[in-house]
Amino acid sequence: MTTSQGDEIVLIGGYAEDGPLNDVWRFNSRTSTWSEIEITSSSSLNPLPRLEFAGCALGEQVLVFGGMQYDNEQVLILNDLWTLRGTNWSLLAEECPCAERAGHVCVAIDADRMLVHGGECMGTIFDDLWLFTASTNAWLRISPAAAVAAEAGALSSTSWPAGRAAHSACYCPEISSIAIFGGYSSAAMHYFNDLWLLPVTTAGVGNQWTLVTFDGIAPSPRDLPGLVCVNEKLIVMGGFGLSEVEHLDEEEESTLGGGGGSGGGGGEAQEESASTDLAAISLEEEGGGASVSTTAAASAPENEEVKKSQASDVAKKTEEEGEDGEEEEDDDDVEMQYLSDTWLVNIKSPFTTEEINIADLLAVDEQQAAAAAGGGEPEEEQEQEAPIARRGCKMVVTSRGMVLAFGGFDGESFSGETELIDFAKTITRVEAKVGDA
């Protein structure tokens, strides 16, 4: 996870070639340098390496909540809460009121309050919403508005998002709202590309989400995209999912329903969405389909092959469909990919969308820098490398309004590349890396 503290970005743990991590690094956005933090608290008082956890900075402390651990080949889903102050870890709560979960999101709405949304635990998919207040060490579950009265078996209501994990969230200061985008439901075999906004104020947190209708082509369904808000725009980067949405027909656009399980803030049953701009794409069809192991780590490479294999299995069920007299389905309809695209989405109506090419921005930046150094005209544009595919890329807005993008997984290896992006201008690629990944 990454979070911002002034000019510094804090990176905690993650997943690399050798497995889960619990190291702590800081990135100085002014000097563009990474440095590892030497933890001074006893190792027995530090959180063990874990996957799919979440957290955020609240003032001078960084919180880490939940996640997944492997203990003697056993999978443990956690709901503990830790705080990092300076170089010292301490355990705030071994068990919190909200259920154990992994793949959830945590968002700071000010220096004292954190929101927790979604996640999963052993096949149960959550859509609940919790507020943690650090000054009182108190948890409060945010109940949905009375308007959420969904039909049984439907996917999502118009005022509460469906249960999901491996989604992304951020705070949008210009509209005083939390945004969540994308994600995955292993219970329903769905990838999402819906965008939801929830108002927050100093007085409290709203209990009715707003489902955004995109003015233009929406980013395709995906899990673990990078997501930040800067200059009244959401930046969506990478992930794992569909590369396009235009080819989906009405049957594929409709969702099978059931965001998954109990404990949901909007209830187990939620209203269905039939638009590709709002809904998920199902990898499972009525009457059958493969299922994903809900105990596997969403960020672990072995899980990527499972999901790709399952997508392929669904696409190739032509023999069974032929026996049932159904139409054969094209493989392209369910092809899943590690994504390298970047999107800008306005967070105020109209919610226009624009896909941009980070590699092109970098090329312009380098050409202009070279021209300025030589005092001549910019060199003729050269063919650039393809953008980097990155699932689980971490993005944070610095105190100067620049976006830091770090890491990610492309299906074969983990990236340690760091980029500072000024979307009002161009971007700078930082050579400093965290370890080997």
- Mean pLDDT over each residue of the chain, to the nearest integer: 75
* Of the candidates 99, 105, 112, 225, the residue with the CA atom closest to the CA atom of residue 161: 105
pLDDT at residue 295, rounded to an integer: 27
DSSP 369: H
pLDDT at 315 over 50: no
Q: Are 423 and 230 in contact (CB under 8 A)?
A: yes
Choose which CATH entry (2.120.10.80, 2.60.40.1180, 3.40.30.10, 3.40.930.10) describes domain 2-356: 2.120.10.80
Percentage of residues of the chain with pLDDT beyond 90: 44
Q: Which residues pair with 8 in a beta bridge?
A: 5, 28
Report whether pLDDT(167) > 60: yes
Mean pLDDT of the 354-363 span? 73
In 291-419, alpha helices (H): 301-315, 318-323, 358-374
What is the spatial distance between Cα 66 and Cα 94, in angstroms, rounded to a whole number? 10
Q: What is the rounded distance in angstroms from the CA atom of residue 311 to the CA atom of residue 276? A: 18
Q: Tell me how crowded residue 293 is: count the other CB atoms within 10 A of its CB.
A: 14
Q: Using one digit for the tens of pLDDT, what is the confidence trace for 90-140?
A: 999 999 999 999 999 999 999 999 999 999 999 899 999 999 999 999 999
Least confident window among 104-108, 239-243, 312-316, 365-369: 312-316
Look up the pTM and report it.
0.76
- Per the CB < 8 A criterion, the answer to whether 223 and 239 are in contact is yes
Separation CA 346–CA 98 (nearest Å): 33
Rounded Cα gap, residues 161 and 261, in angstroms? 13
Residue 307 backbone class (left: φ over 0; alpha: ψ -120 to 50; beta: rest):
alpha
Average pLDDT over residues 247-267: 38
pLDDT in tens, 386-420: 677 889 999 998 887 888 888 899 998 888 888 88
- Does 77 score more than 90 pLDDT? yes
Q: pLDDT tens digit string along 184-201?
A: 998 878 999 999 999 998
- Specify whether the CB–CB gap between 382 and 367 falls below 8 A: no
The stretch 189-217 carries a mean pLDDT of 91
Domain ranges of the chain: 2-356
Task: Determine the Cα–Cα distance for residues 236 and 408; give it in Å rounded to an integer.
Answer: 14
Nearest 10 degrees: CA dihedral of 201, 206, 208, 212?
20
Asked if the model's pLDDT at residue 277 lies above 50, the reply is no
**Section 360-375 average pLDDT:** 58
